[in-house]
Amino acid sequence: MTTPTMDAETRQIAPVPGIEFTVASRPSARYSNRQTVSNFAGPTSFQPIPLNATGWVRKISVLVTATYTTSASAAVVAGDAPFNLISSIQLKDATGTAITQPITGYNLHLVNKYFSSGTTNTNIPRPYGNPQLGPEFAFSASGTSGVATFRLDIDLEQDYNSAYGCVPNLDSNASLLLEIGVASYTVAFSGGTASAATVSVNVDQHYWAPVGNQLNGVPVDAMPPGAGDYLALRYENPTVSPSTENIVNLTNRGGLIKGIIAVSRAAGVRTAFTAATPVGLVLDNNEIDSGISLEAKQDHIRRAYGYYGADLTTSYAPLTPGVMPGLDRGVMVWPFWAESGGRDSWLATRVGALLQLKVTPGASASQLEIITLIGQVRNSGTFYSA
């Protein structure tokens, strides 16, 4: 008895699946740049920082160190310090397109605190990305000197299981570009007669190394799923009326929104939203959040992240080891990504969508700073499955 066979023309060979990108590649980190400037005479900026070609970038990590020298009675300034020593930070891709619009160091600190991702944590809200946590953070002044140290990250990767969201930085002739502005020392330090002040940055890249076409003869996925998709950081600054409910129309829409941060300010000073007032979110006249009190909204955030400590009202002092911070005065967060443990709950919006916030700013607060994290997604199927 013979076994029937298929001739060469009809025989089909099952395709060999490619090795996943994160299996074939390797997570790597590389120093990129270090600079020091004096901010004694006033605001300044670092030289633009071209980020040397590495691979698929997961995040840009910026360690900031500031020093202050005076004659006597050195003290720290309350408010947004020390993060406000960075007046602006922006990341551009190889074509000059902004991945992040210019954002203050304080607001980037809020993004890190409430929306860390990728190399830090994936799909689950945790406090690990909070720049105030850990022994590295420092902010103090006494006698004749003051010092501040903190780390800010620009998170690009949205899922460390697949490397989704990573941005390519593969061409040494057209690399990513980081631009950083510096505020005057007076936003963070005071006292006596100042004689010197400096700010230094140390910039590192965390990335997935480039891979070849094969690994031990097996085809390899040479790029992450959804390559070309990225999380954009957008900013707007609407005027509002204090001590009354405002319906704020948001202009940053037309994509999948990871979350929104709103900061209430009176003449530049963070000011608490009015207590016991409702908070709302409306999309195309459909209320997503309706009649929820400010306190209930804040409790939801505390429970999601574990921020049960004392709320941060006037200063950002180093925390005792093991002590968690609370929420931030004058800051409201809509963390859509935290509602389902993944990208399923990101808020889908059209370019022409009507997206509105309902909030009641505090006394004298006439300005909102609104930061929107919006996915630039080409294929929604990949977005949800990667």
Whether residue 214 has pLDDT greater than 90: no
Q: What is the pLDDT of residue 116?
A: 84
pLDDT at 15: 47
Q: How confident is the model at residue 121 (pLDDT cuts 50, 70, 90)?
A: low
CA nearest to 147, candidates 329, 314, 318: 318
* More confident of the two residues 145 and 321: 145
Who contacts 48 (Cβ-Cβ below 8 Å, separation ≥6)? 177, 178, 179
Stretch 300-321: mean pLDDT: 92
Distance between CA atoms of 134 and 130, rounded to whole angstroms? 9
Lowest mean pLDDT among 83-87, 300-304, 364-368: 300-304
Looking at residue 217, its pLDDT comes to 84
Question: Pick from 334, 382, 305: which is nearest to 126 by CA?
Answer: 305
Average pLDDT value over all residues in the chain: 92
* pLDDT tens string 155-209: 999 999 899 999 999 998 889 999 999 999 999 999 999 999 999 999 999 999 9
State whether residue 338 is helix, strand or coil: helix
Mean pLDDT of the region 14-43: 90
**pLDDT for the residue numbered 48:** 97
Amino acid at 322: G
* pTM assigned to the model: 0.93
Q: How far is Cα 259 from Cα 115, in angstroms, rounded to an integer? A: 8
- Asked if pLDDT for residue 354 goes beyond 80, the answer is yes
How confident is residue 11, by pLDDT bands cut at 50, 70 and 90?
A: very low
Secondary structure class of 187 (helix, strand, coil):
helix
Task: Tell me if the domain spanning 21-385 has CATH number 2.70.9.30.
Answer: yes
Question: How sure is the predictor about 266, in pLDDT bands with cuts at 50, 70 and 90?
Answer: very high
Spatial distance between the Cα atoms of 239 and 266, rounded to a whole number of angstroms? 11
Within 10 A of 271 (CB to CB), how many other CB atoms are there?
A: 21
340 Cβ contact partners less than 8 Å away, ≥ 6 residues apart? none
Q: Is the pLDDT of residue 241 over 70?
A: yes
Predicted confidence at residue 17, as pLDDT, reads 63
